[in-house]
Amino acid sequence: MVKDDSKDNEISEYPKKDQMLEKSEIAKIKQSDQAEARRYVVWGVITVLINISIFYALAHTLKIEYQLSNFIAWFISVQCSFWFEKVLVFKHESKHVMTDMTKFYGTRIFTFLIETCILWLGISVLGFHEVITKVIGHGVAVISNYFLSKLVIFKKITNEDNI
């Protein structure tokens, strides 16, 4: 305890008990975040499988040019990812679906550009192995996507946000 001479009151260096989160509340938050992260990984893997399956069907089965096939697969898999994350991962209840979707696509384009820059820097400038650079770049994109989704797009909403 610290003594405040001007008012002769004792001032605690620590918050009062009613201002602190209980250990059980902190544990619940950690468990919730861990469960959310696990759901993100599971649905992320499913989204990757959707992307690859669509790409394969278009490029190999239907003989559509690979870049167009890749774009269509990316677009559909990002759309699937949006709904998986909104409904199943973050359980977001916003009434502004188009705004959320626009932000979602914006962040995915942003992280795609980051990944592209990492690939250019790693492969073209530094001469690193292509696959290793791709894994690093995609890893940065996936981690960035998680935090952008959690903190920007599907953040916890208040009643005022949902009007």
Which amino acid type is present at position 132?
I
> How far is residue 27's CA from residue 83's CA, in Å, rounded to a whole number?
28
- pTM attached to this predicted model: 0.72
Task: Categorize the per-residue pLDDT at 155 as very low, low, confident or very high, splitting at 50, 70 and 90.
Answer: confident
Flag whether pLDDT at 87 surpasses 70.
yes
Q: Where are the beta strands (DSSP E) in the chain?
A: 2-4, 9-11
Task: Categorize the per-residue pLDDT at 159 as very low, low, confident or very high, splitting at 50, 70 and 90.
Answer: low
